[in-house]
């Protein structure tokens, strides 16, 4: 998978040399509290083989070159993948599990797979991480809670689909514009108006993110028209606030940039006071170019950011 520069984490295939640290992990009663009784050496050896196989069910996790645990990433049911992580206690509560979850979500998104996490109902930390990344409780199986993340990214194909399936779900604009748009404007923002704005805010094309049948975000993209038809623009990138930090925004942006990959430069406009969004766009390769403007319905200046090929 990939390396995290922040935590220097690396998910890799198991190696023969992982056997002893794996035994230290799986024989620890504290680690195994919500899993199974501590493993014997024979059980650890059998588990180790699952990571050495041609199609491994488990992968090792390194931090700064040291074995710190493992993750599971394997088929669960049709079009779904089960993920999970087990780490040495000294690596708990430092953001490692969240970073590993993010990496596995990225991998599954590229494969267009639904994700599943199974956990003991008493595992509060695991449940918290699942909910943080947009998983919802889907039921139980063999005494374990089953959390599912059924978020999909879809390119809309027709104008009617854009109006009918994206904007019509976006009636809670307080979540999109907290404190940045006048209350009068929000009060006047009807469903019909939302449908008419599909192109003026969505650009020429739209990609949506859905959790099941519910639209939870979208990105609009296209060229810059008469102003600079040779360049591309991200016209809109909106996500419901409950999905902030779940990776949905990054996957939408990646999908939009993939469609614009032939343009030498891509730009977008963002509210100057929206520091969170600016940091996100900078991570995506954009930088401010010094231009500002005011929109009539927005009570704050916007700045332009650009991304060169």
In the chain, the domains with their CATH numbers are 3-149 (3.40.630.30), 152-308 (3.40.630.30)
pLDDT of res. 211: 83
Residue 46 is predicted with a pLDDT of 96
Say how far apart CA 111 and CA 218 lie, in whole Å.
Answer: 20
Q: What token pair was written down for 249?
A: 């925004």
From first to last of its 309 residues, the chain has per-residue pLDDT tens of 544 544 688 899 999 999 999 999 999 999 999 999 999 999 999 999 999 999 899 999 999 889 999 999 999 988 899 999 999 999 998 889 999 999 999 888 878 788 999 999 999 999 999 998 989 999 999 999 999 998 888 776 555 454 444 444 444 444 444 444 555 655 555 555 555 555 455 456 778 888 877 778 888 888 877 677 788 998 878 887 778 888 888 889 999 999 999 999 999 988 887 888 889 999 999 999 988 877 655 556 888 999 997
Residue for token pair 């519910």: 214
Residue 183 pLDDT: 55
Asked if 1 and 11 count as a contact pair (C-beta separation under 8 A), the reply is yes
Model pLDDT, residue 47: 96
Which tokens in the block code for residue 238?
A: 């909106």
Instruction: Give the β-pairing of 136-141 and 9-12.
Output: unpaired
For the chain, the average pLDDT equals: 82
What pLDDT score does 164 carry? 45
User: Which residues are CB-neighbours of 84 under 8 A, at least 6 positions away?
Assistant: 71, 72, 117, 118, 119
Instruction: Encode burial over 55-66: b for 16+ CB neighbours within 10 A, e otherwise.
Output: ebebbbbbbeee
Instruction: Give the pLDDT confidence score for residue 270 in this predicted structure.
Output: 85
Burial of 287 from C-beta contacts in 10 A (0-12 / 13-18 / 19+): exposed
Using the structure block, give the residue that is written with the tokens 């680690």: 31
How many beta carbons lie within 10 A of that of residue 141, not counting itself? 11
């Amino acid at each position: 998978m990939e390396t995290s520069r922040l935590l220097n984490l690396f998910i890799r295939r198991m190696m023969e040399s992982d056997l002893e640290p794996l035994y230290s992990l799986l024989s620890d009663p504290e680690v195994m509290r919500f899993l199974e009784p501590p493993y014997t050496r024979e059980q650890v050896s059998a588990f180790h083989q699952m990571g050495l196989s041609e199609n491994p069910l488990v992968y090792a996790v390194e931090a700064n070159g040291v074995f710190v645990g493992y993750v599971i990433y394997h088929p669960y049911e049709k079009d779904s993948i089960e993920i999970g992580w087990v780490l040495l206690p000294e690596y708990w509560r430092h953001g490692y599990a969240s970073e590993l979850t993010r990496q596995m979500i990225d991998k599954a998104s590229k494969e267009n797979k639904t994700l599943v996490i199974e956990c003991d109902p008493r595992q509060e930390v695991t449940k918290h991480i699942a909910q943080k990344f947009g998983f919802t409780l889907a039921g139980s199986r063999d005494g374990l809670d089953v959390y599912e993340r059924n978020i999909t990214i879809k390119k809309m194909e027709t104008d009617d689909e854009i109006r009918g399936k994206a904007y019509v779900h976006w009636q809670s604009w307080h979540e999109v514009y907290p404190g940045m748009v006048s209350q009068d404007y929000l009060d006047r923002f009807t469903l019909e108006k939302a449908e008419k704005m599909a192109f003026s805010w969505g650009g020429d094309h739209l990609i949506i993110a859905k959790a099941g049948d519910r639209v939870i975000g979208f990105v609009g993209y296209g060229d810059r028209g008469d102003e600079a038809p040779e360049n591309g623009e991200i016209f809109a990138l909106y996500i419901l606030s409950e999905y902030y930090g779940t990776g949905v925004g990054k996957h939408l942006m990646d999908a939009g940039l993939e469609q614009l990959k032939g343009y030498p430069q891509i730009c977008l406009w963002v509210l100057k006071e929206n520091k969170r969004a600016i940091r996100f766009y900078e991570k995506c390769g954009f930088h401010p170019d010094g231009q500002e403007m005011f929109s009539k319905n927005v009570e704050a200046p916007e700045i332009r950011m650009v991304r060169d090929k």
